[in-house]
Amino acid sequence: MTEGAQQLATIETAAARPRGVITLALLLIVGLLMLGSLGVGPVRLSPLTVLGALFGGGGEVEQVIVQQIRLPRAILGLAIGAILGLSGAALQGLLRNPLASPSLFGAPQAAAFGAVLMIALGLADVRSYALPVAAILASFVSVFALLAVAGGNAGMLLLILAGLAISSLAGAATVLVMNLASNPYVALEIAFWMLGSLEDRSFHHVMLALPFIAIGALILFSQRHAFRALSLGEETAQSLGVDVGRLRLLVIIGVALGVGAGVAVTGTIGFIGLVAPHLMRPLVGHDPAKLLLPSALCGAALLLAADIAVRIIPSSSDIKVGVLTSLIGVPFFLYLIVRERRSLGGGMA
């Protein structure tokens, strides 16, 4: 009896410690990347200069560069990276499926369509909420449709096929809007939305996106323990008192709010939601509840790093950060498919 009790006690502490250390390490990395993001650009600033300028010290030029030009960009990188990582982890928890992620479900593509439609209709301007609201509604519809089509106990194959269909549809709809747009300026603007970038963002953009992202993140995070119960399947989770239907709706709303608002100000940035939880699982374990916070931090770090990279990589014209994340994310996705090949093959049989 006592031996058993001791065994149980040691297990708890052994599991809790590394997770805390890893969270702290991630916070530190994110902090350093924030500093890096504030320092990197046409004018390179040292971390000390950045810190000084951030809190009102140093020259006026540095203050303007850091506070007004780079800070909104860094905040958006942090917030959007985090919500993408969190959304990916939440969707994977909800569907108990390691291939789930907002971008594979066509949520960003749908949000981009919503945003682009507003631009084409001339309803978008940086001070109005038409853009984020349209993007959020569009991504809500896409995730809702995907879960409705794939159903509760969807296998990977079904999810991927349904996601492919929805993102293709959203992509086609976006191209149609571009196609029909009479004004060439609008077409250019739309093309930009499909690439995804954090360049030249102001605090207006932060104000447009951040409240929705924060609410979406809170909703997703508040459901973390239900994801753990869902590890036993929907029926068993229900027998433990989890309202699975309500949970699903909350996750769709949380993901739509976060991803929709993010896309509305940066365009589509893909694959962070897929990659972040996978990077975190070997470090913090597979518990879907304990995975949410590390995935959010990892997502933030990934996007901040990618956004620093596009500023450092020498090129004749600007590389968009959304292009970079896809370039890295798609091969990773292929690697996952290879790894899950057996269960995918089983799904087809």
Partner 1 sequence: MSESAFLLARGLGVELAGRAVLRDVSLTLAPKHLVALVGPNGAGKTTLLRALAGLLPSTGDITVGGAALTALSLRERALRFAYLPQGHVVHWPLPARDIVALGRYPHGATDPSRLGPIDDAAVRRAMLATDTVGLAERRVTELSGGERSRVALARVLAVEAPVLLADEPTASLDPRYQLDVMQYLRDAADSGTLVIVVTHDLGLAARFADSVLVLADGRLAAQGAPAEALTDTVLTKVFRVSAYRAQHQSEAVIVPWDAA
Residues of this chain that bind partner 1 (CB under 8 A): 1, 3-5, 7-8, 11-12, 14-16, 96, 225-226, 228-233, 235-236, 238-243, 285-290
Measured from the CB atom, is 96 or 144 closer to partner 1? 96
Q: Find the shortest distance in angstroms from Cβ 294 to partner 1.
A: 14
Q: Which is nearer to partner 1, 202 or 231 (CB)?
A: 231
Query: Distance (Å, rounded) from C-alpha 202 to C-alpha 73?
Result: 7
Find the shortest distance in angstroms from Cβ 289 to partner 1.
7
In the complex, what is the shortest distance from the CB of residue 281 to partner 1, in angstroms, rounded to a whole number? 9
Question: What is d(CA 138, CA 43) in angstroms, rounded to the nearest whole number?
Answer: 38
Nearer to partner 1, 24 or 312 (CB): 24
Nearest CB to partner 1, comparing residues 1 and 348 = 1
Nearer to partner 1, 174 or 223 (CB): 223
Can you tell me the distance from the alpha carbon of 18 to that of 92, in angstroms, rounded to the nearest whole number?
Answer: 22
The H or E element spanning position 254 is helix 244-266
Of the candidates 256, 269, 254, 265, which has an alpha carbon nearest to the alpha carbon of residue 325?
Answer: 269
Nearest distance, CB of residue 142 and partner 1, angstroms: 24
Comparing CB distances to partner 1, the nearer of 179 and 239 is 239
**Please, are residues 152 and 234 in contact by the beta-carbon 8 Å criterion?**
yes
| Residue 289 or 324 with smaller CB distance to partner 1 | 289
Instruction: Look at residue 144 and give its three-state secondary structure.
Output: helix
Please give the radius of gyration of the chain, using alpha carbons only, rounded to the nearest integer: 21
Cβ atoms of 95 and 175 within 8 Å: the answer is: no
Smallest distance, Å, CB 154 to partner 1? Answer: 12
Please give, one letter per residue, the 3-state secondary structure of 37-99. HHHCCCCCCCHHHHHHHHCCCCCHHHHHHHHHHHHHHHHHHHHHHHHHHHHHHHHHHHHCCCC
Smaller CB separation from partner 1, 7 or 315: 7
> Are 114 and 177 a contacting pair, CB within 8 Å?
no
Q: How many CA atoms, within 13 angstroms, populate the side-chain half-sphere of residue 290?
A: 16
Distance CA 344, CA 196 (A): 31
Backbone φ and ψ of 45, nearest 5°: -120, 145
Helix 130-150 to helix 244-266 angle, to the nearest 10 degrees?
140
